[in-house]
């Protein structure tokens, strides 16, 4: 190829095709020689090997952008992601000092601008040595070295890493084939920059930009001649010429490079002599790799970031994106994170349940919150009241999400799960005024599974002690009466309730279906299907806050359920400079799961939770204007978990509080019930209820992005059959509190 540093000419391309043909024959002869040595095969092997060489599938290494970006819904950077955790900052040819470009060519491949990707003189010499049984050796051009380094950087397994450096003829042929392809896709200047971007400079330093930063505290564009010569000399044997372990050897090698540059006419002998007298000047400073979720900015986005990475890793919809993210990189991952909502949620959980060792949280409880946009499934925020990390008082378990996505064992949602029984009852046409007269304690049953199997009864009690009273569908919900809901679940059918929950996206925290068992029968971790668990209506099955937030969002959206999605689109570099590709992303799959009339009826009742029920006083207004809002409290047995689900027309949220050291062994009672109140002082109610946790939701939504305009909920028409027994709003007995 011509020595031109621009785009190859037509004549050069024709010549390159000829080189490729010669190389194919050369590779065929090489393979034939091997075969003759081993099996005595004849010339047919050469022909077949040459054909195999031409047909060899090779990866596209012409562009190796390196790091990917994860950005929020406004396009602002959250963090970088580096393939294989290798910190690289690729730069262009013009962003590399001329002295550095000349130095690397002089010492590594002085004929680079004459022979192109393959130096046939050196390659032939190396192949002869290989065929005579000697060690596989040089003849490697910068193009071939680039391929080797790129193969290492893009390897996704130890086997691939070993194959990239294996001293075998097969590896050599593969490198030759890829190098030939690369030369035809890049100009020589681009190829030189590509090589310097993947070169290894010792001490876990990859790429010329990071090398310049690490060794000399400057950019690649501002490297001096002595600095360039030292770095160029380092790549041949990074361990031997490491300036940190052997400065004398590094200096000697640097001067060899300077001498070679003078010999080739890049610099004068006087310039080389002067540069060789300069001190080494190394001031090594490891570059902080602010990558992944540990480097999320702002830090409040770390938990959301963790979920995005987990989705990319585990969701089949992102198989292609995950592969490219960890090989060639260069992706831009656009997420649904709303920075205002994320800040609101994180500030709320941090303020009210401060991370240990805060005095206002002596029980060392944890709080987590998820915000979802109704009608789209877009996850706006994920917050956990722990600093993200692996240090003391930090955590890396995302308690907001399912276990496969780096979550924990899930949470019990308590009475917040009564939503599924309420929706089922409304779908069955049960009106607001439907009432039952009930004791405060009862053994309720029998129940039946979806297969018609009798599943027995269970004892249930209201939270506030004995009281005999009459409760309507409205007051039984707003006052969260457990006995009422146990009887209601039995009336509409446990199977129907569970199926309603499934339709609204509810599933176990391990990702499994509610209609299937979990674990092995006879073992301690066995869990029967939810349709075999009568206490399901009281939230006894562990789920993730994300799952519950999505379920409540479906009510806010008028009966439309959307799967939670945290990624809106992904772009990747195209086959040509400046082009981008759109990679597949998971769909929210929004679809109707119950009627708009049922959704309006449910909201009518759930608004009462905030106006007159268990969360009375936990509502809020903004700038003096009323914000439409609805919600439901939830408290698990013995105060192991507390929850609150709330929504406005534009945003739904779910909050959970518990002790991560073991909810059952560390219930949130007594001194462990303390948290920081909204007034700023410590509040110790003696036991944490869902109403207490509702204050986190309230604090969040006071500053979240809700408008104006705030939107409005669809009203229940006065002619609706839901009113046929009255509004149901007149309580007749002391309320429970869950």
Give dist(CA 703, CA 2) in Å, integer. Answer: 64
Query: In angstroms, what CA-CA distances link 17 with 30, 109, 233, 551, 652?
Result: 20, 21, 33, 61, 61
Give dist(CA 460, CA 538) in Å, integer. Answer: 9
Q: 690 with 414: CB under 8 angstroms?
A: yes
Which secondary structure element, helix H or strand E, spans residue 332, and what is its range? strand 332-335
State mean pLDDT over 656-661: 95
Is the confidence at residue 19, as pLDDT, over 60? Answer: no
Is the confidence at residue 312, as pLDDT, over 90? Answer: yes
Alpha carbon of residue 284 to chain centroid: 33
pLDDT of residue 38: 38
Angle, helices 188-198/169-185, rounded to nearest 10 degrees: 130
Assign residue 75 a region: left if phi > 0, alpha if psi is -120 to 50, beta otherwise? left
Give the percent of the chain with pLDDT over 70. Answer: 84
35 contact partners, CB below 8 Å, separation of at least 6? 41, 45, 49
Question: For residue range 532-582, what is the model confidence (pLDDT) as tens digits?
Answer: 999 999 999 999 999 999 999 999 999 999 999 999 999 998 766 668 899
The residues that bridge with 461 in the sheet, in sequence order, are: 441
pLDDT of residue 119: 64
Q: How many CB atoms lie within 10 A of CB 14?
A: 11
533 contact partners, CB below 8 Å, separation of at least 6? 455, 540, 541
The residues that bridge with 561 in the sheet, in sequence order, are: 591
pLDDT of residue 447: 97
pLDDT of residue 172: 73
Is the confidence at residue 10, as pLDDT, over 80? Answer: no
Which secondary structure element, helix H or strand E, spans residue 52, and what is its range? helix 43-55
pLDDT of residue 69: 94
- Confidence bin at 33 (pLDDT 50/70/90): very low
Give dist(CA 271, CA 34) in Å, integer. Answer: 49
Of the listed ranges 210-214, 363-367, 392-396, 588-592, the one predicted with least confidence: 392-396
State mean pLDDT over 418-445: 96
Is the confidence at residue 56, as pLDDT, over 70? Answer: no
State mean pLDDT over 583-606: 98
Give the percent of the chain with pLDDT over 90. Answer: 66
Of the listed ranges 39-43, 464-468, 720-724, the one predicted with least confidence: 39-43
Of the listed ranges 165-174, 346-355, 713-722, the one predicted with least confidence: 165-174
In three-state form (DSSP H/G/I as H, E/B as E, the rest C), the secondary structure along 175-201 is HHHHHHHHHHHCCHHHHHHHHHHHCEC
Q: How many CB atoms lie within 10 A of CB 736?
A: 26
Give dist(CA 375, CA 562) in Å, integer. Answer: 6
State mean pLDDT over 500-510: 97
User: Nearest-CA neighbor of 287 among 219, 213, 197?
Assistant: 213
- Confidence bin at 731 (pLDDT 50/70/90): low
In three-state form (DSSP H/G/I as H, E/B as E, the rest C), the secondary structure along 415-457 is HHHHHHHHHHHHHCCCCCCCEEEECCEEEEEEEECCCCCEEEE
Show the tokens assigned to 133: 């049984």
pLDDT of residue 115: 73
State mean pLDDT over 23-52: 45
pLDDT of residue 342: 97
- Confidence bin at 63 (pLDDT 50/70/90): low
Tallying the residues shown for the chain, one arrives at 738
State mean pLDDT over 229-237: 96
Radius of gyration over alpha carbons of the chain, in Å? 33
- Confidence bin at 138 (pLDDT 50/70/90): very low
Handedness of CA 72, 75, 77, 80 (dihedral sign): positive
Q: 280 with 248: CB under 8 angstroms?
A: no
pLDDT of residue 577: 62
Is the confidence at residue 157, as pLDDT, over 80? Answer: no
pLDDT of residue 35: 37
- Confidence bin at 13 (pLDDT 50/70/90): very low
More confident residue, 457 or 47: 457
The residues that bridge with 81 in the sheet, in sequence order, are: 68
pLDDT of residue 8: 46
Q: Determine the 3-state secondary structure of 613 from DSSP.
A: coil
Is the confidence at residue 703, as pLDDT, over 60? Answer: yes
More confident residue, 146 or 700: 700
pLDDT of residue 707: 85
Quote the mean pLDDT of the chain: 87
Q: What is the largest CA-CA distance in the chain?
A: 104
Of the listed ranges 42-56, 130-144, 155-169, 368-382, the one predicted with least confidence: 42-56
Is the confidence at residue 728, as pLDDT, over 90? Answer: yes
pLDDT of residue 32: 42
pLDDT of residue 40: 40
């Amino acid at each position: 190829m011509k020595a031109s540093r621009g785009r190859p000419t037509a004549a050069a391309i024709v010549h390159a095709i000829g080189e490729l043909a010669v190389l194919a024959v050369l590779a065929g002869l090489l393979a034939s020689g091997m075969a003759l040595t081993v099996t005595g095969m004849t010339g047919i092997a050469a022909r077949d090997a040459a054909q195999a060489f031409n047909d060899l599938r090779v990866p596209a290494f012409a562009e190796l952008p390196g790091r990917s970006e994860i950005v929020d819904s406004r396009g602002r950077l959250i963090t970088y992601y580096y393939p294989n955790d290798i910190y690289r900052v690729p730069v262009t040819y013009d962003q590399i000092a001329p002295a550095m470009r000349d130095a690397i060519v002089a010492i590594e491949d002085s004929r680079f601008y004459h022979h192109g990707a393959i130096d046939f003189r050196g390659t032939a010499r190396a192949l002869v040595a290989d065929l005579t049984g000697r060690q596989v050796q040089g003849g490697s051009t910068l193009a071939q070295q680039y391929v080797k380094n790129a193969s290492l950087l893009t390897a996704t397994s130890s086997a691939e890493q070993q194959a990239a450096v294996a001293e075998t003829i097969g590896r050599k042929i593969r490198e030759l084939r890829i190098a030939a392809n690369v030369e035809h896709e890049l100009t020589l200047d681009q190829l030189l920059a590509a090589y310097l971007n993947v070169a290894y400079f010792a001490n876990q330093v990859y790429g010329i930009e990071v090398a310049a930063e690490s060794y000399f505290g400057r950019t690649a564009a501002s490297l001096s001649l002595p600095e360039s010569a030292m770095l160029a000399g380092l790549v041949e044997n990074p361990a031997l010429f490491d300036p940190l372990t052997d400065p004398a050897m590094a200096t000697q090698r640097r001067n060899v490079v300077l001498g070679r540059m003078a010999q080739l006419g890049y610099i004068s002998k006087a310039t080389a002599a002067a540069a060789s007298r300069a001190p080494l000047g190394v001031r090594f400073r490891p570059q902080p790799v602010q990558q992944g979720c540990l480097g999320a900015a702002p830090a409040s986005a770390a938990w959301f970031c963790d979920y995005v990475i987990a989705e990319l890793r585990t969701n089949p919809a992102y198989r292609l994106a995950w592969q490219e993210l960890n090989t060639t990189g260069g992706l831009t991952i656009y997420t649904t994170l709303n920075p205002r909502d994320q800040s609101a949620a994180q500030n709320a959980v941090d303020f009210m349940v401060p991370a240990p060792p805060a005095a206002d949280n002596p029980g060392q409880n944890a709080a987590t919150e998820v915000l979802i946009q109704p009608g789209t499934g877009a996850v706006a925020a994920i917050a956990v009241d722990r600093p993200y990390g692996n240090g003391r008082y930090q955590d890396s378990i995302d308690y907001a999400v399912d276990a496969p996505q780096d979550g924990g064992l899930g949470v019990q949602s308590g009475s917040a799960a009564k939503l599924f029984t309420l929706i089922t009852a409304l779908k069955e046409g049960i009106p607001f005024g439907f009432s039952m007269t009930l004791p405060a304690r009862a053994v309720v049953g029998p129940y039946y599974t979806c297969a018609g199997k009798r599943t027995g009864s269970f004892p249930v009690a209201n939270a506030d002690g004995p009281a005999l009273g009459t409760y309507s569908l409205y007051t039984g919900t707003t006052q969260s009466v457990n006995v009422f809901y146990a009887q209601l679940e039995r009336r509409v059918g446990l199977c129907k309730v569970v199926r309603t929950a499934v339709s609204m996206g509810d599933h176990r925290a391990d990702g499994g279906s509610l209609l299937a068992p979990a674990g092995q029968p006879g073992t301690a971790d066995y869990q029967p299907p939810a349709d075999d668990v009568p206490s399901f209506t009281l939230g006894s099955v562990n789920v993730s806050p994300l799952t519950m937030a999505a379920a409540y969002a479906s009510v806010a959206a008028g009966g439309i359920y959307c799967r939670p999605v945290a990624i809106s689109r992904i772009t990747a570099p195209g086959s040509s400079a400046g082009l981008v590709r759109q990679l597949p992303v998971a769909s929210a799959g929004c679809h109707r799961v119950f009627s708009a009339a049922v959704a309006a009826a449910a909201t009518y009742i759930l608004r009462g939770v905030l106006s007159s029920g268990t969360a009375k006083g936990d509502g809020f207004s903004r700038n003096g204007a009323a914000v439409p809002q609805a919600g439901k409290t939830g408290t698990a047995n013995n105060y192991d978990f507390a929850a609150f689900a709330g929504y406005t027309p534009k945003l739904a949220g779910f909050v959970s509080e518990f002790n991560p050291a073991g909810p059952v062994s560390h219930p949130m009672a007594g001194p462990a019930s303390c948290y920081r109140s909204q007034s700023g002082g410590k509040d110790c109610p003696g036991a944490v209820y869902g109403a207490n946790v509702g204050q986190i939701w309230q604090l969040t939504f006071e500053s979240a992005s809700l408008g104006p305009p705030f939107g409005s909920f669809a009203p229940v028409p006065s002619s609706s059959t839901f009113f046929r027994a009255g509004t149901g709003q007149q309580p007749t007995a002391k309320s429970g509190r869950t």
